[in-house]
A and B are shown apart, each in its own frame.
Chain A
Amino acid sequence: MIISVASGKGGTGKTTVAVNLALALGDCQLLDCDVEEPNAQVFLKADIRAREPATVRVPEIDYQKCDFCGKCRDVCAYHALAVLPGKVLFFPQMCHSCGACEMLCPRKAIRETDRTIGEIETGDREGIRFVQGKLNVGETMAPPLIRQVKSRIEPNSVAILDAPPGTSCPMVTAVRGSDFCILVTEPTPFGMNDLHLAIDTVKKLGIPYGVVVNRAEADDLKTRDYFKSNRIPLLLKIPLDRKIAELYSIGTPFIGPMPEYREKFRALFKTISETVKVSP
């Protein structure tokens, strides 16, 4: 079962929920798909066992064969190639590795080579198999690396995916294919606005979802009414608690020193499992 943790707004507590849920379950996989700024490892502190470069396929021009006809430029939907007299310029940041230039070059003057965009680290801690993608600084395209991180998902186990914030390509790439999506929000206008966008996104992807409210305050009637009138399933409230904030600031997952939350996260998992079971 694949459970992704997403949010809309950044900084609402995705990683807090993902890491604490993984620790509460024990035997599972945790995959940090927020490859532009992965931080689950700050809290999990897994022993990293392997590092592998992550690559994408990019064109290489064979100048012995190229006659500068411009076909590769014309078929590139992303304008990653410029053809000038006697010269082909390639802009790697614009390339989506679609392969059209190689396939359609009339002189077979293009072959694909690997370009490193980041790395994938794997490790473990307390029965949790950990995978994280790290996109190199300056790289702009997260989705290819996110897909490579997701290719490490083990069949027949519980995989928890820490997704990037927002509702654009990286978030969609991470969340797509999940059996359930936990949306983490905070009860602020900004948090609620972006939650709404995230709900629209997971609905469109056809993924069952529920919401965790982080930094919740007891008298927060506005969010309660919003959830009620929009029939948004509320999974868990994590209160605005100084102790949780202090533990966060020193990189300690709070279910360790606050074991009452271990049960709450297990109950959360149970609710999710039951929802997934009845979903088509």
Chain B
Amino acid sequence: MKIAITSEGRTLDSAVDPRFGRCGYFLIIDTDTDKVEALQNPGTQQTGGAGIQAGQLMASKGVEVVLTGNMGPNAFQVIQSAGIKVVTGVSGKISEALRAYKDGKLSPAENPSVGSKSGMS
């Protein structure tokens, strides 16, 4: 199963990026092989629609679970439509978040956690 975690950097020691659509990287971890892919987010600087695009990117990568800090309404709609589970409110190191999920300590969100454009800086 593929898990994507929004990340500030390219490694498992990086911090979880609190934003979804405008995060720095997506770390895509295949839990069957423990292979890690660091994907730079093309939408970091986008003024609108970043979450919508990031959601489609997750779907095209075959991701089944997304761990992130916050997700806005449009991204949430794409993620839900694609049948992907999302956990919001995740923070700390990527490796810790991954461990917590594997241990069943994180439960999927049923609603977006923030409003539109909240990841814009």
A80 touching B82 in the complex, CB below 8 Å, given contacts A85-B59, A89-B77: no
B-side interface mostly:
helix
What's the tally of chain B residues with a CB closer than 8 Å to chain A? 14
A89 & B48 in contact (Cβ 8 Å cutoff): no
Query: Which A-B residue pairs are the 9 nearest by beta carbons?
Result: A79-B49, A84-B82, A82-B78, A82-B52, A79-B52, A82-B56, A84-B59, A87-B81, A91-B74
A82 & B48 in contact (Cβ 8 Å cutoff): no
A84 touching B78 in the complex, CB below 8 Å, given contacts A73-B56, A79-B53: yes
Is B9 at the interface (CB under 8 A from chain A)?
no
CB neighbours (8 Å) of A82 from chain B are 52-53, 55-56, 78, 81
Q: In angstroms, how far is the closest chain A Cβ from the Cβ of B53?
A: 6
A84 & B53 in contact (Cβ 8 Å cutoff): no
Is A94 at the interface (CB under 8 A from chain B)?
yes
Beta-carbon contacts under 8 Å, B24-59 to A: 46, 48-50, 52-53, 55-56, 59
Chain B, Cβ-Cβ closest to A70: B56
Beta-carbon contacts under 8 Å, A82-109 to B: 82-85, 87, 89, 91, 94
CB neighbours (8 Å) of B81 from chain A are 82, 84, 87, 89
Q: In angstroms, how far is the closest chain B Cβ from the Cβ of A81?
A: 8
- Most chain B CB within 10 A, of A78, A82, A84, A91, is at A82
B49 & A94 in contact (Cβ 8 Å cutoff): yes
Measured in the bound complex, the distance between the Cα atoms of B53 and A79 in whole Å is 7
Chain B, Cβ-Cβ closest to A91: B74
Measured in the bound complex, the distance between the Cα atoms of B78 and A85 in whole Å is 11
Measured in the bound complex, the distance between the Cα atoms of B48 and A87 in whole Å is 21
Encode A6-35 as 1/0 by CB contact (under 8 A) with B.
000000000000000000000000000000
Write 21 A-B pairs (CB below 8 A) sorted by A numbering: A73-B56, A78-B48, A78-B49, A79-B46, A79-B48, A79-B50, A79-B52, A79-B53, A80-B49, A82-B52, A82-B78, A84-B59, A84-B78, A87-B81, A89-B52, A89-B77, A89-B78, A91-B52, A91-B74, A94-B48, A94-B49
Encode B56-75 as 1/0 by CB contact (under 8 A) with A.
10010000000000000010
Measured in the bound complex, the distance between the Cα atoms of B107 and A135 in whole Å is 39
Q: In angstroms, how far is the closest chain B Cβ from the Cβ of A126?
A: 43
CB neighbours (8 Å) of A80 from chain B are 49
Q: In angstroms, how far is the closest chain B Cβ from the Cβ of A66?
A: 15
Q: In angstroms, how far is the closest chain A Cβ from the Cβ of B37?
A: 21
B48 & A83 in contact (Cβ 8 Å cutoff): no
Encode B74-89 as 1/0 by CB contact (under 8 A) with A.
1001100110000000
CB neighbours (8 Å) of B52 from chain A are 79, 82, 89, 91, 94
Further 4 A-B residue pairs, CB within 8 A, beyond A78-B49, A79-B46: A82-B52, A82-B78, A89-B52, A94-B52
Q: In angstroms, how far is the closest chain A Cβ from the Cβ of B80?
A: 10
Q: In angstroms, how far is the closest chain A Cβ from the Cβ of B94?
A: 26
Encode B99-120 as 1/0 by CB contact (under 8 A) with A.
0000000000000000000000
Measured in the bound complex, the distance between the Cα atoms of B83 and A87 in whole Å is 11
Q: In angstroms, how far is the closest chain A Cβ from the Cβ of B120?
A: 14
CB neighbours (8 Å) of B48 from chain A are 78-79, 94
Measured in the bound complex, the distance between the Cα atoms of B78 and A89 in whole Å is 7
- Most chain B CB within 10 A, of A78, A83, A85, A89, is at A89
Measured in the bound complex, the distance between the Cα atoms of B50 and A94 in whole Å is 11
CB neighbours (8 Å) of A91 from chain B are 49, 52, 74, 77
Measured in the bound complex, the distance between the Cα atoms of B50 and A48 in whole Å is 42
CB neighbours (8 Å) of B55 from chain A are 82
